[in-house]
Amino acid sequence: MRVSRLMLVTLRDVPAEAEIPSHRLLLRGGYIRRISAGIYAYLPLLWRVLQKISTIVREELNRTGALETLLPQLQPAELWQRSGRWAGYTAGEGIMFHLEDRQGRELGLGPTHEEVITTLAGDLLRSYRQLPVNLYQIQTKFRDEIRPRFGLMRGREFIMKDAYSFHADEDCLRRTYADMDTAYRRIFERCGLRAVAVEADSGAIGGSASQEFMVTAEAGEDLILTSPDGRYAANQERAVSLPAEAVPLIGGLRQSGAGEALATPGQTSIEALCRAHGFDASQLVKVLLLLARFEDGLRQPLLVSLRGDQELNEVKLANVVSARLAGDHGALLGVEPLTAELLRQERLDLDLSALPLGYLGPDLEDALLASQGLVLDNVDSRAGTAGAATLPERKPRLERSFLRLFDPTATDLEAFICGANRVDTHRVGASWAGLGLTPGADQVVDLRAAQPGDRCQHDPSQRLEAARGIEVGHIFQLGRKYSEALEATFTNEQGIDEPLWMGCYGIGVSRLAQAAVEQHHDADGIIWPAAIAPFSVIVVIANVQEAGQVALAEQLYGEIQRAGHEVLLDDRPERAGVKFKDADLIGIPWRVVVGRGAATGRVELVRRADGERQELAAEELVAALNRQMP
């Protein structure tokens, strides 16, 4: 390919829209152009990279016995209503683009394909004799991300490889999951990426075991916690650890166990309270007031107790709340701090000023949730939201008792300080029994965020270390969640019908391309790993006015092509310096410079990764390249 025919437009200036190096470099190097927020054109150079990645993905998946297929991107709402995901994916913060066709039927643009594939599997897979099956596709996905950013990292339209496996039993699912794990490691390694596998939260996709593959990079959106011995690695969303020991409360338990009142005027934050009285944050129980919103209109107030020095893990909380209530109330639409603003949006009649915010104790009475007279218009003004068909009642209605949840760091405290449920007052030396609270086993759940520096559960002498990662792949053991919901069954060896066992496996192909740049670049530009570079070699004619240079370059260009290497010829009438800069920017692994030396048949070979140069005779060039790229 000749650079003059490539429509190559490189940018000298750093584009204002790009915040991270890989995004800047892909824009500057003429790989992508932004069409709209989170929507990019993949220009010819990038398309070659994407195809190389796809080829590696195909080779490794085919090797496991997976079959390539292609499923529709337009998906009927009905399928998503049957799985119970339509509302969660379309209402509130849902990320599915959805539309109505000319007959008024609702459709969604596929953000993922569990519904479609499970329905197909239910139709096609009738007997255990047909199992296992693993189907994959490489295709554009659509997600109306709340914050599309960083170019291809979080797009609203992006390329994904997704695979779905079906099994007669859980053991078989585990074997395929392990094969996919191996395939993924090979894929990332072949793409030249340093990736680590971490325990992951299963999120809205659902299911049990799941693992993410993270490309480690400063710009990564995910926080990974790992143990120095390499035995533990998890996404912070999911990570567990041992909390630091709490500092015992001097004086311990007061007689009644209900604690003694302490005047704490204006001390509504843990820092203020500790500063004023010399407390340690680990001696406090903090109480968070939140609201969970469900598809059927239920608005469940939550009271979460955590030790004062701990942070809430919102992902863990959402999982617990959803597991508890989604069965009866449809999808969990969100969990947010209960604020006046939220109540207004939801048109709920609760007067927050009656709640002693900043002074809440775990024993806050349900009675406070009763209406205090401020009645907002509670008429449903939001009817007609897509998906209303699934569950009858959608009007927000406030549950009048708290769902109380306790992190073990809080319940493990024998004596503690907490709010007195009265403005400007705390209690010192309270105990759970003294407050009249005996949290049930199902109310005590791990809700705390593990932090770097925490001791590891598997070995307390190890401390968690933090790294940032870009999630490029995710594999799940889904179990039977979708096959049950969509009634995808097969007949087992005993002749009995049962739901299929399922796994699903994603790779963000376009995100991976950018992650490779994030991991492999320098001040001058991209340094593509050889296996996914758009071209392997670029022949630069230093001066196209020199017939000798042109002739030799053309000859070498042909020879390199015939030797089977993908080669670019920079034949543009630009200054040599401009062309060298562009070659560095677009990151082709090998640069051949045909300049003054052409007169004596000498050329220069430069390695992009470290700038190492070697001068050699033109006739030795192909052999030298063959040695580098066997």
Q: Do residues 390 and 87 lie in contact, with contact meaning Cβ atoms separated by under 8 Å?
A: yes
Q: In terms of Cα–Cα distance, which of 246, 235, 326, 234 is closest to 281?
A: 246
By CB under 5 A, which span of 44-52, 128-136, 391-399, 470-478 interacts with Mg ion?
Answer: 470-478
Pairing of strands 133-142, 497-499: unpaired
Q: How far is the CB of 111 from ligand ATP (least distance, A)?
A: 8
Nearest residue (CB) to ligand ATP, 160 versus 538: 160
Q: Which of Mg ion, ligand ATP, none has residue 192 at its interface (CB below 5 to 8 Å by kind)?
A: none
Nearest residue (CB) to ligand ATP, 75 versus 421: 75
CA angle, 609 as apex, 606 and 611 as ends, to 5°?
A: 40
Q: In terms of Cα–Cα distance, which of 540, 537, 535 is closest to 594?
A: 540
Nearest residue (CB) to Mg ion, 474 versus 572: 474
Q: How far is the CB of 60 from ligand ATP (least distance, A)?
A: 16
H runs (alpha helix) in 306-355? 314-329, 340-346
Number of residues that bind Mg ion (CB under 5 A): 1
Nearest residue (CB) to ligand ATP, 394 versus 474: 474
Q: Which of ligand ATP, Mg ion, none has residue 246 at its interface (CB below 5 to 8 Å by kind)?
A: none
**Residues within the interface to ligand ATP (CB under 6 A):** 112, 143, 145, 154-155, 158, 160, 203, 205, 471-474, 506, 508, 510-511
| Helix, strand, coil content of the chain in percent (nearest 5) | 30, 30, 40
Does 474 sit near Mg ion (CB under 5 A)? yes
Q: Point out the residue whose Cβ comes nearest to Mg ion.
A: 474
Distances from the Cα of 144 to the Cα of 40, 78, 94, 221, 630, angstroms = 14, 20, 8, 18, 43
Q: How far is the CB of 451 from ligand ATP (least distance, A)?
A: 20
Nearest residue (CB) to ligand ATP, 243 versus 473: 473
CA 24 to chain centre: 21
Q: Which of ligand ATP, Mg ion, none has residue 572 at its interface (CB below 5 to 8 Å by kind)?
A: none
Q: Do residues 142 and 156 lie in contact, with contact meaning Cβ atoms separated by under 8 Å?
A: yes
Q: How far apart are CA 153 and CA 148, in angstroms?
A: 8
Q: How far is the CB of 80 from ligand ATP (least distance, A)?
A: 15
Q: Which of Mg ion, ligand ATP, none has residue 315 at its interface (CB below 5 to 8 Å by kind)?
A: none
By CB under 5 A, which span of 100-108, 402-410, 474-482, 537-545 interacts with Mg ion?
Answer: 474-482
Q: How far apart are CA 579 and CA 593, in angstroms?
A: 10
In terms of C-beta density within 10 A (0-12 exposed, 13-18 middle, 19 or more buried), how is residue 452 classed? middle
Nearest residue (CB) to Mg ion, 48 versus 474: 474
Q: Point out the residue whose Cβ comes nearest to ligand ATP.
A: 508
Q: Which of Mg ion, ligand ATP, none has residue 112 at its interface (CB below 5 to 8 Å by kind)?
A: ligand ATP
Q: In terms of Cα–Cα distance, which of 506, 512, 507, 509 is closest to 205?
A: 506
Q: How far is the CB of 313 from ligand ATP (least distance, A)?
A: 15
Q: Which of ligand ATP, Mg ion, none has residue 22 at its interface (CB below 5 to 8 Å by kind)?
A: none
Nearest residue (CB) to ligand ATP, 432 versus 482: 482
Q: Which of Mg ion, ligand ATP, none has residue 307 at its interface (CB below 5 to 8 Å by kind)?
A: none
Q: Which of ligand ATP, Mg ion, none has residue 362 at its interface (CB below 5 to 8 Å by kind)?
A: none
Q: Which of ligand ATP, Mg ion, none has residue 145 at its interface (CB below 5 to 8 Å by kind)?
A: ligand ATP
Q: How far is the CB of 71 from Mg ion (least distance, A)?
A: 19
Please give the sequence-ordered ranges of beta strands (E in DSSP) within 70-128, or none if there are none.
Answer: 74-76, 98-100, 106-109
Q: How far is the CB of 212 from ligand ATP (least distance, A)?
A: 7
Q: Cis omega (within 30 of 0) on the bond before 439? A: no
Nearest residue (CB) to ligand ATP, 455 versus 468: 468
Nearest residue (CB) to ligand ATP, 110 versus 595: 110
Q: Which of ligand ATP, Mg ion, none has residue 535 at its interface (CB below 5 to 8 Å by kind)?
A: none
Q: Do residues 170 and 40 lie in contact, with contact meaning Cβ atoms separated by under 8 Å?
A: no
Q: How far is the CB of 236 from ligand ATP (least distance, A)?
A: 12
Q: How far is the CB of 212 from Mg ion (least distance, A)?
A: 6
Q: Do residues 294 and 393 lie in contact, with contact meaning Cβ atoms separated by under 8 Å?
A: no
Nearest residue (CB) to Mg ion, 83 versus 210: 210
Q: In terms of Cα–Cα distance, which of 427, 440, 444 is closest to 257?
A: 427
By CB under 5 A, which span of 157-165, 337-345, 357-365, 467-475 interacts with Mg ion?
Answer: 467-475
Distances from the Cα of 381 to the Cα of 169, 341, 350, 396, 595, angstroms = 47, 17, 18, 10, 73
Q: How far apart are CA 86 and CA 386, in angstroms?
A: 8
Q: Do residues 429 and 326 lie in contact, with contact meaning Cβ atoms separated by under 8 Å?
A: no
Phi, psi of 577 (to 5 degrees): -60, -40
Q: Which of Mg ion, ligand ATP, none has residue 113 at its interface (CB below 5 to 8 Å by kind)?
A: none
Nearest residue (CB) to Mg ion, 238 versus 474: 474
Q: How far apart are CA 339 and CA 344, in angstroms?
A: 9
By CB under 5 A, which span of 28-36, 65-73, 135-143, 472-480 interacts with Mg ion?
Answer: 472-480
Q: How far apart are CA 238 and CA 234, in angstroms?
A: 6
Q: How far is the CB of 343 from Mg ion (least distance, A)?
A: 32
Q: How far is the CB of 56 from ligand ATP (least distance, A)?
A: 15
Q: How far is the CB of 593 from ligand ATP (least distance, A)?
A: 37
Phi, psi of 69 (to 5 degrees): -145, 180
Nearest residue (CB) to ligand ATP, 249 versus 315: 315
Q: How far is the CB of 205 from ligand ATP (least distance, A)?
A: 6
Residues 6+ away with beta carbon under 8 Å from 516: 49, 191, 192, 193, 215, 528, 529, 532
Q: Do residues 432 and 416 lie in contact, with contact meaning Cβ atoms separated by under 8 Å?
A: no
Nearest residue (CB) to ligand ATP, 128 versus 158: 158
Site residues, Mg ion (CB under 5 A) = 474
